[in-house]
């Protein structure tokens, strides 16, 4: 009787441990799979800017929390892909100092108006990776500081949906 009782308790203990192991391993693998899939989907969905030109382009005047005041460039025409490629070739033929002087002159001759915009949580913010690959990386809002040049795409309701950091203007 005592031997049967011990075998029964041992069997239940083994069954309990095996069931616990199964539940934990199944739960962990599902979470890892979901996490990886979510990261892939986020990467694929958010690393490309919208096809249309950005509605707000300019230098950040001030940052307070998630509220930005931007000196939005008014009346600046958006270049087509061909025009952008031509301009890039022209700029590459200039020295660093000449490029900076030309950019400064363009900024001085550009009419601006201050725009206050609230950046909601979850908006994709990208900037160049800083290496020669030309890749972009996702960054936090803390990367946007006074003097940062940004392009912001907004919805019909004027809510930001995508932000690209282009560099510093100072």
Q: For the chain, what are the domain ranges?
A: 1-46, 56-75+111-168
Burial (CB count <10 Å: 0-12, 13-18, 19+), residue 107: middle
In this prediction the pTM is 0.60
Helix (H, G, I), strand (E, B) or coil at 64: strand
Rounded CA-CA distance 72/20 in Å is 59
8 A C-beta contact, residue 87 and residue 77: no
Per-residue pLDDT tens listing for the chain (170 residues): 778 888 888 888 888 888 778 887 776 655 555 544 444 444 444 567 788 888 999 899 999 999 999 999 887 776 667 887 888 888 888 888 988 888 788 777 788 899 999 999 999 999 887 777 778 888 999 999 999 999 999 999 999 999 999 887 65
């Amino acid at each position: 009787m005592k031997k049967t009782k011990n075998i029964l308790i041992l069997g239940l203990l083994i069954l309990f441990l095996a069931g616990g192991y199964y539940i934990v391993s199944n739960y962990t693998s599902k979470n890892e799979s979901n996490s990886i899939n979510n990261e892939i989907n986020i990467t694929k969905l958010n690393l490309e800017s919208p096809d249309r030109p950005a509605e707000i382009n300019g230098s950040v005047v001030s940052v307070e929390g998630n509220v930005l005041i931007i000196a939005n460039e008014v009346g600046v025409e958006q270049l087509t892909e061909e025009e952008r490629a031509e301009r890039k070739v022209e700029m590459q033929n200039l020295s660093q100092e000449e490029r900076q002087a030309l950019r400064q002159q363009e900024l001085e001759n550009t009419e601006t108006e201050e725009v206050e915009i609230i950046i909601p949580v979850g908006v994709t913010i990208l900037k160049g990776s800083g290496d020669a690959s030309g890749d972009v990386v996702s960054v936090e809002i803390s990367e946007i500081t006074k003097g940062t040049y940004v392009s912001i795409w907004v919805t019909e309701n004027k809510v930001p949906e995508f932000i690209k950091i282009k560099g510093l203007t100072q």
